[in-house]
Every structure is written in C-alpha cells, then in structure tokens.
Structure 1
Amino acid sequence: MRGPDWTDAENDLIVADYFAMLKEDVAGHRYSKAEHRRALLPRLNGRSEGAVEFKHQNISAVLKGLGEVWIPGYKPAFNFQMPLVDAVARWLARNPVWLDPCVGWRPASGLEDAAPIWIGPPPTLSNQPPPKELEQMLQIARKFDVASRDARNRALGRAGEERVLVHERSSLQVAGRADLARKVRWVSQEDGDGAGYDIASYAPDGRSRLIEVKTTNGWERTPFHITRNELDVADERRAEWCLVRLWNFAREPRAFELRPPLDAHVSLTPTSFQASFDG
C-alpha cells in the first residue's frame, strides 16, 4: 500500500542527505549508506527503510534528468512526483558550486598522464530509454533549462576543452605523429571564442580536425546549447568540423562525436532571438 505523499520538509531533508552522500561518493571517500539512513529516519514521518531507499533512487532519476551526477548504488527509479524535482532544484539553487572541486579534477600524476577518453557511438533511436522514462527526463530538462546551466558553467566548459586537447595530442603521439601533436591548438583560449570551434587538431593522416567541445557532468543525452556561429562553421567546413560531446565528466569522462549536418543527429530548437531597431 502506498503511503502518504512526502511533504516539502521531508523532501528537503532527504535531498540534503543524498547530496551529503553524493559529495563523498564523487570525491572517492568512504561513507555508510546505512548510517545515513538510520540518522535520517527519525526525522521523517514514520517512513520505512524501503521507502527511504526508493526515494533515494527517485532522487538519482531526478538528477539524471537535470544532467547531474548521481550515486551509482542508487539506480534511477522513475515515476517520481514533481515536488521532489522542486526540492532538488531548491538544493542546487542554494549550493550552485557544490561540484566545483570536481570540475578542476586532475589525475594524481597530472593531466598530461590522463587515460584516453572513452569515445563511443552517439545516442540513437535504437538505444534510447523507455518512452515514459525519456519523457520524464525531457520534461525536467525543459523546465529547468539544463543546457543553459552547463553553458554558463565556464569552469566545466574550460576543463572539458582542456581534457579533449590533451586527448588529441596524446592520440597523435600514440599514432606516431608527434609532429602533428605539437601543432594542436586550443583556439578558444589562444584566439577567443569567435572561431566556431574550440580546438584545431589533426587526424593521423594530416587532415584538419576542427573540434567544438560540449561538456556535461550528466548522461549522454543531456541537452546542450550551440551557437549560430558554430552551426555556420559546421556547415561551411563539413569535412573538418566535428562536435565532441563529453559526458560523465566529474567521474570518468566519456565522449562521442557528431559530424555535420547536426540536424541529422539532434533536434535543433531556437531558444533566443535578436532584437533590432528598424529604420
């Protein structure tokens, strides 16, 4: 039998406790889920341990929809209620930089020694989540404009570009093209943001690769923003341009590549308009 709906106060309590565990989890620290649960239960309205565990899974699902990291031990469970989404959004609004230390992540031996990025196939219709799950995540992404949050996070964007820069140089070194590796440029840092791509690299055969990097801590289907200039350059230089979508960045960066035309891979939705004065 389903219990009474969770109150806003209960949702706020369990969300705060979840983020306390998540922070330890992302940092690689040991913590006890059972201890957290035992400390939380007396503060709730007679909830069972099973109800608390399931609510943790609901929070994981909400975070997935918001393009955030979640605790792997709490597999996302969907069909949650929107007040829980609001509680997670409230916590994030109060703690906007909670993941900043992870954005600056470096392996112990330095970024230059980082393992190659895992690059897999892009999302397709054949591997999309079940319809109800996908719709709930898209609903969250639309309401809270997940793409804008990632786009505004300059530290995340810069860290993602740097990680791809190192990956490109390392890949060329491994391919025996140290000469090309030395020529790879971080264009957005050296020349500014107006080029329509972030990194100028090369394929091992010497062909030019113009790479636009989009980074998220969330899952591979997290929406992202792309500018009109980036789309124009992608169209004008189709043979060279590609978009590298870096995801799961705070834990173990993974990526896939999209090549023009982008509307063959994603739905492009206008989100802003230029206003000008006539006459």
Structure 2
Amino acid sequence: MQGSAWSSPENTAVVNSYLRMLLCEWNGIPYNKSSERRALSPMLSKRTDSSIEMKHRNISAILLAYGIPPIYGYKPLPNIQISLEAAVLEGIGGIENFGDLAMQSMTSIGMNSDVPALEPAEIPSVTAPWKSARLRRQVISNDLLAAEAQSGAVHLMALKAVALHEKRTLAASERSDLAAAVEIRKNDYRTGTGLVISRSISGSLRTILVKATNSLAEFPFMVSSDEVDLSLDASSGFRLYRVYGLRHRPGFYKLRGSLRAAAQLTASEYTVLPRS
C-alpha cells in the first residue's frame, strides 16, 4: 500500500510506537529505533522503513506545533495527514501526567552535571509552523516554554557552557587576556535574566543572551520585550545563542543584532487596560 493514505489502525500503531520511544527519551531510558520499527512493521500494510521514518517526522511536527518536545532524532516534517493529528492527540490523552512528564524533560539536566562543550551550528531552516483547524481552535498554552525559560538548572548550565565556549575560542586565538574577562551575569538588570559578557578577537564588546533547551534546534523559545529592546540597544554587539540538545548532543546557533530583524517574533500575550 505504498503511496496510499495511512489507515486509522496504522496511525494508532505508529503513534503508540513513537510515544513509547518519546517517554523513554524523556526518562533517560535507552531505546532502539530499529528494534521499535521492526516491532511496528507487522502492524502496517507493507510500509517501507523510509515511509515509517517520514511518519515519525510528521508526528514530531505535530508535537512541535503544540509546544511539546518531540523525539530528538526525528526532524519535524510538516506534510501531515489530518487524521494523524487526531491519533496523536488521542495517544497523548491516554498517557497519565503527560504534561508533567514533558515539563520535567524540559526543566531538568539529567544525571550528568558536567558543563558540556558546545558544537557551533548553522541557523536551522525553519518552515512556517504547521497548523490545522483543530490547532487554531484550541487555546495553546505557553506553560512548557515558560517553564523551560525559568528553569534555573537548564539556564545556568547553558550560561556556563557558552562562557566556556567563549573562553576557549578567545584562548585559541591567542587572546587569553580577553578570555579571562569573560563574565556570566546571572540576573542582568536590563533583562532580569542571565547574560554572558564577552569580546570579539579584536576586543569589541559582545553581549550574549542565552536561550537554552533540552530539545532540538527547531524548538521555539520565548523572549521578553526587555530582551528585544536589549538587542536593539546593543546593536551590532548583541548576540543570541540558542543552546539546544543539552541532554543529547549539545550545540548552539547564533542570531546577530536586532531580534526584530533576525527572528520571527509572534506576540502570545498582551498587557490589557480598559478603554476609556
């Protein structure tokens, strides 16, 4: 049945398989994707491994749209059969304390508390977020993103990792004097959040706002109006380092200068006063 739409039983089977792996990942339990795929195949109508892989990536795109961290190794693919969304929501609804488990996965750093070495990466190519009629009608909470942003453990680990990266980069360029001056400001007065103060090799000031996630590079994050203003005030000296995969293979990408120019900003909350 290659090329045909997936049936409801097939969607249910692939969603259940995906969610089993997701819960293992969140809880730090090893799992094997190949073994899971072999166990899944008999429940499907002669689907190839690549077809199953694409369906797993579709599920990642659905979870991402709902603000839920997907499996780290399945890059979101937003070409989605609408019936798959219903199967995903039904599967999530059948898991006790699913929201609490997601929250825990986003706000803890696991057993390893060593400061990781970060691998620099290109800015990910992010397509327009997948939307459905169901998603547009539902009130989507930013609780998970807010909890991640406020997680002291995740944020502090990322600050230390960025500071370490800056020190090593400057030292490797024979600027040990500048490396020694790299500074972490845990509660900067301008934003109320942590910054790393560094320098370029030429000595110019770098104000680095750090945003961290245990999830993949494409996962969205929150910035405050004060942080956006800081990106304007600091101008060419401003950097946002998006640190991702802290519990997997930590990496980061950079946004330079004004966040209004470098990022897609979507208002999710408003300050309200009555009209006079």
Which residue is equivalent to 1:175?
173
Question: Equivalent residues in 2 for 1:1-279 (5 A)?
Answer: 1=1, 2=5, 4-6=7-9, 10=13, 13-19=16-22, 22=25, 29=30, 31=32, 33-34=34-35, 37-38=38-39, 47-48=44-45, 50=47, 54=51, 57-64=54-61, 66=64, 68-70=69-71, 72=73, 78-80=79-81, 81-87=84-90, 89-90=92-93, 91=95, 92-93=98-99, 95-97=101-103, 99=105, 103-104=109-110, 106=112, 110-111=114-115, 114-120=116-122, 122-123=123-124, 127=125, 134-136=128-130, 149-153=144-148, 154=151, 155-188=153-186, 194=191, 198-276=195-273
- Checking the alignment, whether the CA contact within 8 Å between 1:241 and 1:259 is kept in structure 2 is yes
Q: TM-score scaled by structure 1?
A: 0.70
- Checking the alignment, whether the CA contact within 8 Å between 1:216 and 1:247 is kept in structure 2 is yes
**Secondary structure of 1:237's match?**
helix
Measured in 2, the distance between the counterparts of 1:179 and 1:55 equals 53
Cα distance, 1:244–1:148 mapped onto 2, change above 3 Å: farther
Q: TM-score scaled by structure 2?
A: 0.70
Cα distance, 1:171–1:104 mapped onto 2, change above 3 Å: farther
Q: Aligned AA for 2:167?
A: R
Q: Aligned AA for 1:84?
A: A
**Secondary structure of 1:223's match?**
coil
Q: Aligned AA for 1:82?
A: E
**Secondary structure of 1:199's match?**
strand
Residue deviations 1:5-39 (CA, integer Å, cap 9, x gap): 13997576434423256469x76x4647336753x
- Checking the alignment, whether the CA contact within 8 Å between 1:116 and 1:167 is kept in structure 2 is yes
- Checking the alignment, whether the CA contact within 8 Å between 1:209 and 1:242 is kept in structure 2 is yes
How far apart are 1:227 and its partner, in Å?
0.6
| Structure 2 unmatched ranges of 5 or more | none
Q: Aligned AA for 1:95?
A: L
Measured in 2, the distance between the counterparts of 1:256 and 1:223 equals 13
Q: Aligned AA for 1:117?
A: E
Measured in 1, the distance between the counterparts of 2:135 and 2:184 equals 30
| Structure 1 unmatched ranges of 5 or more | none
How far apart are 1:100 and its partner, in Å?
6.0
Residue deviations 1:152-205 (CA, integer Å, cap 9, x gap): 22133333222212211221222222222222221125x578356611111122
What is the aligned length? 260
Q: Aligned AA for 1:184?
A: V
How far apart are 1:47 and its partner, in Å?
4.0
**Secondary structure of 1:136's match?**
coil
- Checking the alignment, whether the CA contact within 8 Å between 2:118 and 2:162 is kept in structure 1 is no
Q: Aligned AA for 1:183?
A: A
How far apart are 1:210 and its partner, in Å?
0.6
Cα distance, 1:135–1:225 mapped onto 2, change above 3 Å: closer
Measured in 1, the distance between the counterparts of 2:236 and 2:197 equals 13
Cα distance, 1:21–1:137 mapped onto 2, change above 3 Å: farther
**Secondary structure of 2:9's match?**
coil
Measured in 2, the distance between the counterparts of 1:176 and 1:193 equals 31
Measured in 2, the distance between the counterparts of 1:160 and 1:128 equals 22
